[in-house]
Chains A and B, each alone.
Chain A
Amino acid sequence: GAVVSQHPSRVICKSGTSVKIECRSLDFQATTMFWYRQFPKQSLMLMATSNEGSKATYEQGVEKDKFLINHASLTLSTLTVTSAHPEDSSFYICSVLAGASSYEQYFGPGTRLTVT
């Protein structure tokens, strides 16, 4: 399967600042990427679907102006958490759709965001 990396793996930021998380598909051209968040001891919740060259599709209840997603190339999608608050502290995971006719996803290792 594809190798997906995320950077940084951990980040601590102060309340009110913005932080960018990168998701890279290292050996696979990813037309579609997904962003999830996972609270401690909970399941993954889909935040948005990111399509290369177009605007992301956000799930209900996810603020698109707060969680900015950019998918400018087939190997890179970024999630920017703007004006972060402590309640944004979470584990953010990206994934890559395996192919146009496949529902399988390859997941990144996740990014632990802590907002102080």
Chain B
Amino acid sequence: AQSVTQLDSHVSVSEGTPVLLRCNYSSSYSPSLFWYVQHPNKGLQLLLKYTSAATLVKGINGFEAEFKKSETSFHLTKPSAHMSDAAEYFCVVSGTGGFKTIFGAGTRLFVKA
């Protein structure tokens, strides 16, 4: 069985400071892991994905995530937050069960000026 837990329902940072959004997963198989961003009333945009290649994955807009099998984690980071980063972020696991995808509950990122 697969599951994904986003450890923070919301995160607040100041502009220019680092961002850390935490995600833990559970999977019986080697999972594919994704981070998506959703701006209000918009669809989802892929930030980055891990598919069993390099464990440090770089994505768009300066985001990156590191796959740590020993910790079953896939945390999303960015060195310096920008006001435009304020949005909802979803950690997603997939890989078994006929491509079934499981979404985390989401983390709302607030960026203060």
List the A side residues contacting B90 at CB < 8 Å.
43-44
* Interface membership of B73, Cβ < 8 A: no
CA distance A93 to B90 in the complex (A): 14
Q: Are A104 and B44 in contact (CB under 8 A)?
A: no
CA distance A106 to B99 in the complex (A): 13
CA distance A43 to B94 in the complex (A): 16
- Whose C-beta in chain A lies nearest to the C-beta of B45? A107
CA distance A108 to B43 in the complex (A): 6
Q: Which residues of A contact B (CB under 8 A)?
A: 1, 4, 6, 32, 34, 42-46, 49, 57, 91, 93, 95, 97, 102-110, 112
State whether A104 and B34 are in contact (beta carbons under 8 Å apart), knowing that A43-B106, A109-B42, A112-B41 are contacts in the complex.
yes
Which size class do B's interface residues fall under? 20 to 34
State whether A103 and B104 are in contact (beta carbons under 8 Å apart), knowing that A32-B99, A108-B43 are contacts in the complex.
no
Q: Are A46 and B105 in contact (CB under 8 A)?
A: no
Q: Are A107 and B32 in contact (CB under 8 A)?
A: no
State whether A109 and B43 are in contact (beta carbons under 8 Å apart), knowing that A103-B32, A103-B51 are contacts in the complex.
yes
- Whose C-beta in chain B lies nearest to the C-beta of A9? B41
* Interface membership of B3, Cβ < 8 A: no
- Whose C-beta in chain A lies nearest to the C-beta of B94? A103
Q: Of A46, A91, A104, which one neighbours B49 at CB under 8 angstroms?
A: A104
State whether A34 and B101 are in contact (beta carbons under 8 Å apart), knowing that A103-B32, A103-B95, A104-B49 are contacts in the complex.
yes
**What is the CB-to-nearest-CB distance from A52 to chain B, in angstroms, rounded to a whole number?**
14
List the A side residues contacting B49 at CB < 8 Å.
104
